[in-house]
Structure 1
Amino acid sequence: MASATDKFSGVQKAAIIMVALGEQFTADMFKRMDQEEIRRVGMAMSNVDSVNPELVEELLKEFLGKLKSELGPMIGGDATARKALQMALGAEGAAALMAELDRAKEPVPFERVKMVDSKTLAGFIRSEHPQTIAVILAHLPKSKAAEVVRQFPENLQYEVVLRLSTLDVIPPGIVEEIDTVLQREVLSTEGLEAKQLGGVEAVAEILNNCDKTTEEHIFSRLEEDDPELAEQIRQLMFVFEDLMSVDDRGIRTLLKEVRNEDLTLALKTASDTLKSKILSNVSERAAAMIQEDLEVMGPVRVSEVEQAQQKIITIARRLEKEGKLVIGGKGAEDALV
């Protein structure tokens, strides 16, 4: 027979016990946890409104092997968590962590949409106005948005990207209305706040994740209708050949994190200049092996090469954000002096 405690995760069980045993016990436990453990347990505690004594007894039996005391209902898990965090982390640390926990409890816009496969989602929303589609895509991870864009007809691809590039602050009422429509179809998410969405940076990230054909088609239309916007987006995009603008030290830093098979495949369609730059930053033996692998490599799908290049691009962009390499050509403020 299933236990009453089976429906709770380990973190939830720990949170209930800590609420039941009080602030001092909780503070002592927090001192023995790392920051991530405190965050997870603290979030679970803040969601405990009341604790049933029978549940506490079952959990204590499970955790300790025997019942420690007769307990009445415990009210106010959120308040207990705040006080215990103050004792463990100090007022400032507790305030920062509780602010994070409060934000984490807020409904996430279009959360269920992220679980729907891209083809199905595209089918649900393709008949909506391009502006509406742009709002939805702006809430998705960029790779997911790119997959959805690929499913649209070419004209719709262009219309959506154009509107996404100029998307700014969205009033909560509009987002809620869009969300309500989607609820009837595939999800049940609500309660959204206005936030900065879209813009040319979002478009650049989405196009970076699109296949070459989709990217080139959208750019051809953009360059006809709005050359200035097209140039803004291009400047924010990063393609494999842009590695030419990375200095040798940055290239060596990058190559430390790239698998040899991905590098060889990515170089299949690279320019001779870029190949030379890459190979000059590895050992002579490694360069000879890569050259040999390239020479004996048979025909491969373009999509496989692009996928390998995209993996390296993703690593390069992460290293750039971490300040470990600089991708040139993005403006004088990025230059090293």
Structure 2
Amino acid sequence: MLDLSHPQGPLKAAIFLLAMGEKFTSDVFKHLAEDEVRQVSALMAQVQNVPGEAVQEILDEVRDKMQVVQGAMSVSVEEFLKKVLFSSMPEEQAIAIYEDILHQLHPSTFQKLSGLDPKVIVNFLINEHPQTIAVILAHLSPDLSASVFSELPERFQADVMLRIANLEKISPEIVAEIDRVLEEELFSVEMSDATKVGGAEKVAEIMNNLDRTMEDTLMEKIESSSENLAEEIRKLMFKFEDLLGVDATGIVALLKEISTEELKLAFKAAPEELKDKFFDNMSERAAMMLKEDLEVMGPVRLKDVEQAQQAIIRTAKRLEGEGKITLGGKGVDDVLV
């Protein structure tokens, strides 16, 4: 709960900007870092009615020439934020921040589904049209989509994946219709702007979270339908073997984030060249101990090996997102050389 009577820190900044208006706020946002814009915008989105004395106290504090607001301040924050964000930064960046704020204020059906067990979600989807299933899976996180996808009957899988790959923008009308279908059994939802949710990139993300057997089977079916689409998806996918493209500094950073147990399992089905790359970037003692563990390690389930490899890939992608490593996966043209 926000303390609007005695606001402090970023909340004080949010109220001040609301009081100053859209143009002033737009100018201020141009000088803030993106994370600062997100923080202040999120607080502004939660502000509804601010006591007049609190507003005046803030305005007095900044010691600038401006009109003192009398009485309570009531603002239409969503429209205010939309105008401010789109006038102060590139459209793509503004859309990302604005949609994040809206999702915080109005959790969608798809966000609420994220809290359910994959098998429960499948029970809701099993009688839906494959296109509806595709739209819903495209809105979920890749790991949850993969879990739900694995529970779908095999006869649906290739069709649904192809539909996800061919999704572009989903109109509010279609989303509203999907909501209407789900609402009776699940949740209510508020959705606004059309959002790109599918495409080859989304399929690649989901594929990266599936086991290798299912991945290969689906790729064969997608390729039989569209060779160009299958090739595009392959270029966007990142496999465990692609870690060969990571430089020594990146391997060292990755080793700091993963467990020896994960690495040991992942190495059970890894090419010797990749193992050597990791060994070369470990201490001599650590490399020797891991080699000894692998020599005495008994048979393990392929599923466990693939899960370990996927966990390491997810860690690598997180580190890439943080700017700590560069992944040189298939089809990547901007790898530094």
Sort the TM-score into its range (normalised by shorter chain): 0.7 to 0.9
Question: Which stretch of the first structure deviates more once superposed, 106-115 or 212-221?
Answer: 106-115
Question: Aligned equivalents of 1:101 and 1:226: distance in 2?
Answer: 36
State the partner residue of 1:104.
Answer: 101
Among 15, 18, 35, the residue aligned to 2:4 = 15
Structure 1 residues 74 and 35: CA distance shift in structure 2, 3 A:
farther
Q: Secondary structure at the match of 1:115?
A: coil
Check whether the contact 1:328–1:334 (CA below 8 A) recurs between aligned residues: no
Shift of 1:296: 2.2
Alignment of structure 1 residues 179-328 onto 2, 5 Å: 179-321=179-321, 322=323, 324-328=325-329
State the partner residue of 1:47.
Answer: 46
Q: Which deviations, in whole Å up to 9, do the C-alpha atoms of 1:153-212 show, x marking residues without a partner?
A: 112010000010010011111111111111111111123321112000000000101122
Question: Which stretch of the first structure deviates more once superposed, 105-114 or 309-318?
Answer: 105-114
State the partner residue of 2:59.
Answer: none
TM-score after normalising by structure 2: 0.73
Shift of 1:302: 2.4
State the partner residue of 2:331.
Answer: 330
Specify the structure having the higher radius of gyration (Cα): 1
Shift of 1:219: 1.5
In structure 2, list runs of 5 or more residues that go unmatched. Answer: 17-32, 55-69
Question: Which stretch of the first structure deviates more once superposed, 256-265 or 232-241?
Answer: 256-265
Structure 1 residues 100 and 233: CA distance shift in structure 2, 3 A:
closer
Check whether the contact 2:51–2:72 (CA below 8 A) recurs between aligned residues: yes
State the partner residue of 2:134.
Answer: 134
Counterpart residue identity of residue 165, structure 2: S
Question: Which stretch of the first structure deviates more once superposed, 148-157 or 209-218?
Answer: 209-218
Counterpart residue identity of residue 325, structure 1: T
Task: Give the CA RMSD over aligned residues.
Answer: 3.6
Structure 1 residues 327 and 303: CA distance shift in structure 2, 3 A:
same
State the partner residue of 1:160.
Answer: 160
Structure 1 residues 118 and 143: CA distance shift in structure 2, 3 A:
same
Question: Aligned equivalents of 1:253 and 1:102: distance in 2?
Answer: 32
**Seq. identity, %:** 42
TM-score after normalising by structure 1: 0.73
In structure 1, list runs of 5 or more residues that go unmatched. Answer: 1-8, 28-33, 57-71
Question: Aligned equivalents of 2:14 and 2:121: distance in 1?
Answer: 48
Question: Aligned equivalents of 2:72 and 2:41: distance in 1?
Answer: 16
